[in-house]
């Protein structure tokens, strides 16, 4: 049986694959080319996958031993659907050597395997295991080479710009790029984590619930560390200035934990759950600043709403601050100030809970001058609508107090039930589902002004005054939609802003044409300087779409923009002309000894360039995008 399956919550109801980008998560198929939910045959195929999963022998063992906790009776226990985001090998590790050993002690070895296969919806080995070879003993963290880009946004302000000295790559040389090494992650069918280079190593997370330290020159493995769930965030690294330093790594996982690891060994130093809600998750990369780790918290509860018997919804987004040395929580700020309560009943008599939502699935950006951070929020998942959904927050870094908020789209209340055959939990507002998934950035312009700039799924880019939150300018650069607009990350260089647009078809009708591709804006005025339209080269390939969903990166006069068609394109920053491209869906030899290929570029795993080495993560593999399993290093060396 394939790893692909569609969550069907309750006895009936097919999960539509309309994206509320991160909150919906991986209930969409890992191999989307096999399904088309816009057709009767696609719905039938989804139903067949679901029924086949329910018939797996592990279901009976799960019901007998595990369901009493993971079906909602224990408040903090992740729901079954959350556990199912991992592959079967990672789940098996949890019940044999991990935190669930005691709870699973009554099961035989064979039964544990069957439970893991049932929860993952896949048999052991259905995703090929390809070990990353170990490095020689003398390869390790080089403390004489501190990190040049320690955070997801490459700088704390999330500008995602790499200067000439750091990049070590000129536009004239980009056409000479060729593969140096490639890695296929063991037991994975997607690559979602943005790699970080520091100390001569590459730190990256995996779908297989592991974090790796790889040698920057060869791709061999220095160490790996197990986590609770898939790591789709980037990896944040301590700065250091001494060769006797003990730097740490920080990241989050899909089950809502944040971690600190020893960068030299991978030893876990602490882990904390960001929220007690069973559907909490961390998708946006935490940000490190002045001894605090600032973690955004989102949720996958939006998908459970398709079950008419599910009391939707109770999760509230938040940002949590931790002391980096001890892991102690310093403060927590919710994006909805009111706790959810019963608001009424849906048509089948189930309680409707609210307000909920306003999740945070983007990386906080830091404003050192004003000592505040910025994040954007998602839609409300249930009524009533709040003033803080689809909004930008400015939060004091020391106290967690909210300095100001600015709402882009009012009355946006939506959950997955709205686009299914079982809409009992769909709120009356029914969308439009215009989250802020793209991280805000703080730009300092040539005239001395600072702007908070935020891209939205509506297709709009907004520029705000960082002192007051007042709107300075607003420009529409895309059609927008459930899977449209600005998704995961913009980049800024000088006065120019680079904006990738998805505008993937989502079954809805719009009065504005789609504009997939890459746009450049003058941040002084918001005017569009150029537009490079994404070509449609898919030729009917399922899961292939034109447009840019993955975070883009500005590099020394160039812009690296990964497409949903699996092609990485490097654009001239001044004109938008394509200087070079690479098809990641081709076959690549790996250090593992077996071939692999990428898929759609998507998520926050944007390109990274340092000292002439380019790192690309390819294989988004959810929401009807092409799966893949490729971490590719390129350079121009002979």
User: What is the tens place of the pLDDT at every residue in 534-550?
Assistant: 999 999 898 899 999 99
Nearest to 464 by CA among 436, 433, 500: 436
242 pLDDT band, cuts 50/70/90, is confident
Q: Determine, yes or no, domain membership for 143.
A: no
**Overall domain count for the chain:** 2
Beta strand segments in 350-399, E: 351-354, 356-357, 365-367, 372-376, 380-382, 391-396
If you average pLDDT over every residue of the chain, what do you get? 87
**What's the pLDDT tens digit per position in 324-343?**
999 999 999 999 999 999 99
Peptide bond into 140 cis (omega under 30): no
Q: Determine, yes or no, domain membership for 135.
A: no
pLDDT for position 62: 72
Q: Determine, yes or no, domain membership for 128.
A: no
Question: Which helix or strand (DSSP H or E) is residue 323 part of?
Answer: strand 318-323
More reliable by pLDDT, 83 or 36:
83
Q: Which two tokens stand for residue 553?
A: 């990166």
Q: Determine, yes or no, domain membership for 13.
A: no
| Whether 469 contacts 448, CB under 8 Å | no
180 and 35 in a common domain: no
79 and 214 in a common domain: no
521 and 577 in a common domain: yes
Question: Which helix or strand (DSSP H or E) is residue 21 part of?
Answer: helix 21-24
pLDDT for position 16: 29
357 and 265 in a common domain: yes
**What's the pLDDT tens digit per position in 468-507?**
999 999 999 999 988 889 999 999 999 999 999 999 988 8
pLDDT for position 21: 40
What's the rounded Cα separation, in Å, for the pair 223 and 115?
A: 29
Q: Within 10 Å of residue 535's Cβ, how many Cβ atoms?
A: 15
pLDDT for position 85: 59
What's the rounded Cα separation, in Å, for the pair 30 and 42?
A: 15
Q: What is the gyration radius of the CA atoms in the chain, in angstroms?
A: 22
Tell me if residue 430 falls in helix, strand or coil.
Answer: coil
More reliable by pLDDT, 64 or 160:
160
Q: Determine, yes or no, domain membership for 11.
A: no
Q: Which two tokens stand for residue 45?
A: 């195929």
169 and 85 in a common domain: no
Q: What is the DSSP letter of 84?
A: T
**What's the pLDDT tens digit per position in 436-466?**
999 999 999 999 999 999 999 999 999 999 9
Cβ-in-10-Å burial (0-12, 13-18, 19+) of 172 comes to exposed
What's the rounded Cα separation, in Å, for the pair 25 and 19?
A: 8
226 and 84 in a common domain: no
**What's the pLDDT tens digit per position in 21-76?**
443 333 333 332 333 333 444 445 555 666 677 777 767 777 676 665 566 544 55
Q: Which two tokens stand for residue 549?
A: 């969903």
170 and 33 in a common domain: no
pLDDT for position 2: 25
Could you give the C-alpha distances from 445 to 292, 357, 398, 496, 497, in angstroms and in order? 28, 34, 26, 9, 11
- Asked which of 66, 89, 120 is the last residue of a domain, the reply is 120
| Whether 482 contacts 508, CB under 8 Å | yes
278 and 185 in a common domain: yes
201 and 86 in a common domain: no
The phi-psi region of residue 417 (left if phi > 0; otherwise alpha if psi is between -120 and 50; otherwise beta) is alpha
| Whether 243 contacts 251, CB under 8 Å | no
What's the rounded Cα separation, in Å, for the pair 590 and 631?
A: 9
Provide the H-helix boundaries in 86-216: 88-96, 109-120, 164-167
What's the rounded Cα separation, in Å, for the pair 478 and 501?
A: 6
Q: What is the DSSP letter of 63?
A: H
Q: Within 10 Å of residue 536's Cβ, how many Cβ atoms?
A: 12
* Residue 241, domain extent: 161-635
Q: What is the DSSP letter of 120?
A: H
Tracing tokens 């120019």 back to the chain, one arrives at: 496
Q: What's the CATH code of the domain at 175?
A: 2.140.10.10
Assess whether pLDDT exceeds 80 at residue 374.
Answer: yes
Q: Which two tokens stand for residue 359?
A: 């999740």
Tell me if residue 450 falls in helix, strand or coil.
Answer: strand
Assess whether pLDDT exceeds 90 at residue 6.
Answer: no
pLDDT for position 453: 98
169 and 115 in a common domain: no
Q: What is the DSSP letter of 368?
A: T
Q: Within 10 Å of residue 134's Cβ, how many Cβ atoms?
A: 12
| Whether 414 contacts 430, CB under 8 Å | yes
| Whether 636 contacts 169, CB under 8 Å | yes
182 and 112 in a common domain: no
Q: Determine, yes or no, domain membership for 489.
A: yes
| Percent of the chain whose pLDDT exceeds 90 | 70
What's the rounded Cα separation, in Å, for the pair 129 and 93?
A: 14
Nearest to 82 by CA among 329, 335, 360, 273: 273
- Among 261-275, 350-364, 365-379, 499-513, whose mean pLDDT is lowest? 499-513
306 and 215 in a common domain: yes
């Amino acid at each position: 049986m394939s790893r692909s399956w569609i969550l069907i919550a309750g006895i009936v109801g097919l999960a539509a694959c309309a994206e509320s980008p991160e909150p919906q998560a991986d209930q969409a198929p890992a191999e989307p080319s096999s399904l088309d939910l816009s057709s009767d045959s696609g719905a039938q195929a989804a139903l067949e996958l679901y029924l086949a999963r329910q018939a797996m022998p592990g279901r009976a063992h799960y019901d007998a031993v595990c369901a009493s906790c993971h079906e909602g009776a224990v408040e903090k226990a992740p729901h079954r659907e959350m556990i199912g985001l991992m592959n079967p090998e990672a789940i098996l590790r949890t019940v044999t050597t991990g935190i669930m050993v005691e709870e699973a002690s009554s099961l035989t070895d064979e039964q544990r395997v069957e439970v893991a296969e049932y929860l993952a919806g896949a048999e052991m080995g259905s995703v090929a295991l390809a070990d990353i070879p170990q490095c020689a003993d003398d390869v390790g963290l080089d403390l004489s080479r501190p990190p040049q880009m320690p955070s997801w946004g490459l700088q704390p302000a999330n500008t995602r710009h790499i200067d000439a000295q750091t990049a070590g790559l000129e536009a004239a040389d980009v056409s000479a790029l060729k593969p140096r090494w490639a890695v296929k992650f063991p037991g994975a069918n997607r690559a979602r984590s943005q790699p970080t280079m520091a100390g001569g190593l590459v730190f990256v997370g995996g779908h297989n619930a592991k974090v790796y330290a790889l040698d920057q020159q060869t791709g061999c493995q220095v160490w790996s560390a197990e986590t609770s769930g898939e790591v789709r965030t980037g990896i944040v690294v301590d700065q250091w200035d001494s060769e006797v330093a003990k730097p740490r790594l920080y990241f989050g996982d899909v089950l809502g934990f944040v971690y600190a690891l020893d960068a030299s060994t991978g030893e876990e130093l602490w882990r904390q759950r960001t929220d007690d809600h069973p559907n909490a998750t961390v998708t946006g990369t935490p940000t490190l600043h002045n001894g605090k780790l600032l973690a955004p918290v989102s949720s996958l509860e939006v998908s459970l709403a398709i079950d008419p018997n599910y009391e939707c919804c109770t999760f509230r987004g938040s940002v949590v601050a931790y002391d980096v040395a001890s892991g102690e929580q310093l403060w927590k700020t919710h994006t909805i100030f009111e706790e959810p309560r019963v608001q009424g009943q849906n048509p089948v008599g189930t309680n409707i809970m609210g307000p909920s939502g306003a999740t945070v699935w983007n990386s906080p950006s830091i404003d050192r001058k004003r000592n505040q951070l910025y994040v954007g929020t998602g839609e409300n998942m249930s009524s009533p609508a709040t003033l803080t959904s689809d909004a930008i927050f400015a939060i004091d870094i020391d106290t967690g107090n909210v300095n100001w908020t600015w709402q882009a789209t009012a009355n946006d209340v939506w959950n997955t039930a709205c686009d299914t055959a079982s809409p009992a939990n769909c709120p009356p507002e029914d969308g439009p589902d215009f989250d802020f998934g793209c991280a805000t950035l703080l730009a300092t312009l040539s005239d001395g002004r600072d702007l908070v700039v935020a891209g939205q799924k509506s297709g709009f880019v907004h520029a705000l005054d960082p002192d007051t939150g007042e709107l300075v300018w607003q420009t529409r650069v895309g059609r927008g939609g459930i899977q449209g607009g600005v998704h995961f990350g913009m980049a800024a260089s000088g006065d120019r802003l680079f904006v990738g647009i998805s505008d993937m078809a989502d079954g809805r009708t719009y009065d504005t044409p789609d504009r997939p591709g890459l746009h450049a804006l003058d941040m002084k005025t918001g005017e569009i300087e150029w537009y490079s339209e994404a070509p449609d080269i898919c030729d009917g390939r399922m899961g292939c779409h034109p447009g840019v969903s993955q975070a883009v990166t500005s590099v020394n006069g160039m812009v690296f923009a990964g497409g949903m068609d699996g092609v990485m394109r490097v654009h001239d920053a001044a004109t938008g002309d394509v200087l070079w491209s690479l098809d990641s869906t081709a076959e690549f030899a790996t250090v593992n000894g077996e071939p692999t290929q990428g898929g759609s570029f998507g998520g926050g795993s944007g390109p990274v360039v340092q000292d002439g080495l380019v790192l690309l993560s390819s294989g988004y593999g959810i929401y009807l995008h092409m799966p893949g399993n490729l971490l590719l290093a390129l350079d121009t060396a002979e």
